[in-house]
Amino acid sequence: MKHLLKMLDLSSEEIIEILNLADQLKYELKHGIPHPHLKGKTLGMIFQKASTRTRVSFETGMYQLGGYPLFLSANDLQIGRGEPVQDTARVLSRYLDGIMIRTFAQKEVEDLAEYGSIPIINGLTDFCHPCQVLADLMTIREFKGRLEGLKMCYIGDGNNMANSLIVGGLKTGMTVSVATPADYMPDAEVMEFTKGFDCFEHTTDPLVAAKDADVIFTDVWASMGQESEKAKREIAFKGYQVNDDVMAQAKADAMVLHCLPAHREEEITAKVFEAHANEIFEEAENRLHAQKAVMVKLMAE
């Protein structure tokens, strides 16, 4: 494993190794056991979009591992003035030990990896959000004790979160059911990947997808960069809400997860959100532990 660009690139074994290391690093942090695996290393963090969790968890995580994080706003880099990503990659590779990037096009992340010579970590693109899904899988395992055989249901837009959850769920032996409007399907490459799995289902009906689910996921109706489509999306996604009716279809002990930020009374009701707040905020915390595991796997000697 040289980079973390998308879940499709990871083997099932690599995913489990990351989750095991994340559990260990969480334990060490909670018990005051130092773990300076990246002493003296630097991580550049390029942000073309806003962030609370990704920025703070990577920055803190790098510090806890003994390394140094640099926040690089795209607006202040020459990349924001048109310097090609290919050149940025070759320059930053000479200063840094790793790069985390949050941007729009997946190709930009893939280009960084191709032209640079240091590990690249995808901190969200329009296509996928692998760091989030590793934290999500870690959280499910923590609450349910296993992944294999559980049913994960995703309700909402078929974009970055759906794409990564589908691949991460199927690669770890989960049954995955997804409800999206017909015009907001998961990416074609991801749908192609699902063809090898009997335990995958796509429907346009949230109540069908939620049937007997162990875990229910949702995400915002309008993602970053789609602000101008807000009104159109409010119409398209009406009914794609995690509410009491959806929860009534799921198992009685079903978990609810949300990558956050959440829009109450849009994709999830305040009532369901608060009833599952302990799971959702543990999930947010687990970003820290899962990403530390990724950085150690990629950047430690």
Site for ligand NVA, residues 252 to 291, rule: CB under 6 A: 259
Residue tagged active-site, from 129, 141, 202, 276: 129
Distance CA 108, CA 159 (A): 17
Site for ligand CP, residues 3 to 62, rule: CB under 6 A: 51-54
| Residue 289 a catalytic site member | no
48 in contact with ligand NVA (CB under 6 A): no
57 in contact with ligand NVA (CB under 6 A): no
Task: Show the site string, 111-150: x = touches ligand CP by CB under 6 A, - = not.
Answer: -------------x-------x------------------
β-strands 151-155, 175-179 pairing = parallel
Helix (H) or strand (E) holding 175: strand 175-179
Instruction: Assign 3-state DSSP to the chain and report helix, strand, coil percentages, each to 5.
Output: 45, 15, 40
User: Under a CB-based contact definition with an 8 Å cutoff, are residues 162 and 156 in contact?
Assistant: yes
Nearest to 69 by CA among 54, 79, 83, 84: 54
Phi, psi (degrees; rounded to nearest 5) at 152? -105, 135
Q: Smallest distance from the beta carbon of 131 to ligand CP, in angstroms? A: 7
Q: Which does 70 bind (CB under 5 to 8 A by kind): ligand NVA, ligand CP, none?
A: none
Q: Where are the alpha helices (DSSP H) in 145-229?
A: 160-171, 188-194, 206-209
Q: In what order do the strands lie in the sheet with 42-47?
A: 68-73, 42-47, 98-102, 120-122
Of residues 65 and 128, the one with the C-beta less far from ligand NVA: 128
171 in contact with ligand CP (CB under 6 A): no
112 in contact with ligand NVA (CB under 6 A): no
CB-side neighbour CA atoms (13 Å) of 138: 32
224 in contact with ligand NVA (CB under 6 A): yes
Q: Which does 223 bind (CB under 5 to 8 A by kind): ligand NVA, ligand CP, none?
A: ligand NVA
Q: Smallest distance from the beta carbon of 80 to ligand NVA, in angstroms? A: 19
| Residue 129 a catalytic site member | yes
| Residue 287 a catalytic site member | yes
Of residues 53 and 151, the one with the C-beta less far from ligand NVA: 53
Burial (Cβ within 10 Å: 0-12, 13-18, ≥19) of residue 115 = middle
Strand, coil or helix: what is 45?
strand
Q: Which does 52 bind (CB under 5 to 8 A by kind): ligand NVA, ligand CP, none?
A: ligand CP
Total interface residues for ligand NVA by CB under 6 A: 9
C-alpha separations of 118 from 21, 110, 215 in Å: 21, 12, 36
Residues that bind ligand NVA (CB under 6 A): 124, 159-161, 219-220, 223-224, 259
Which residues here bind ligand CP, judged by CB under 6 A?
Answer: 51-54, 124, 132, 259-260
Q: Which residues are catalytic?
A: 102, 129, 132, 219, 259, 287
